[in-house]
């Protein structure tokens, strides 16, 4: 069992899903999302985690983001980038990784706010083909980070057992 904290952008995901269904191995597990807290596989007290997230988010107001631009990650993923709102996303991510989540913070890996479109295991030709396909779709979305979801994923990473929604202030 693992926990993650994600934002599901309130956008039309039809074009994103066309790409994800072909290239993202997690497309059947979870809807298009931006991860704020990456899966924590170790056992952690659920109530303490909820309290921690609640206390961090209580200081946050809704903020705008723009998803635009494509980038290949160091580990062979294609990202749809958070352009506008990137600074706020990084700040929120860093605040969440305090307290009981501090030990899970990856200092060696900078947080890059994004929505994953697919994974390409060193297949450069396939990546370039998908990059061209995605560029033709002109993926450009404006929305607000108004809520996030704590999800609990089963041990085999095949299904979400439950989800808890947290709403940011107006």
CATH of the domain at 25: 3.90.1140.10
Enumerate long-range contacts of 59-62, CB under 8 Å, 24 or more apart: 60/92, 60/168, 60/169, 61/168, 61/169, 61/170, 62/144, 62/145, 62/146, 62/168, 62/169, 62/170
What is the tally of structural domains in the chain? 1
Quickly tell me which residue has 């809807």 as its tokens.
31
Nearest to 19 by CA among 118, 139, 143: 118
The pLDDT value given to residue 110: 92
Least confident of 101-105, 117-121, 138-142: 117-121
The structure's pTM equals 0.94
Give the residue-averaged pLDDT of 60-84: 95
Range of the domain at 41: 2-167
């Amino acid at each position: 069992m693992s926990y993650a904290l994600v934002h599901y952008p309130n956008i039309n995901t039809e074009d994103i899903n066309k790409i994800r269904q072909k290239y993202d191995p997690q497309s059947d597990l979870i809807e298009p999302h931006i991860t704020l807290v990456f899966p924590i596989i170790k056992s952690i007290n659920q109530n303490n985690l909820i309290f921690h997230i609640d206390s961090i988010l209580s200081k946050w107001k809704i903020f705008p983001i723009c998803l635009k631009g494509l980038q290949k990650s160091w580990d062979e993923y294609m990202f749809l980038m958070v352009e506008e709102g990137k600074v706020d996303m990084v700040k929120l991510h860093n605040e969440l990784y305090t307290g009981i989540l501090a030990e899970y913070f990856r200092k060696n890996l900078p947080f890059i706010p994004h929505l994953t479109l697919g994974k390409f295991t060193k297949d450069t030709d396939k990546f370039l083909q998908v990059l061209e396909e995605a560029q033709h779709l002109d993926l450009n979305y404006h929305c607000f980070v108004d809520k996030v979801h704590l999800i609990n994923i089963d041990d085999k990473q095949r299904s979400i057992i439950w989800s808890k929604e947290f709403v940011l202030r107006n």
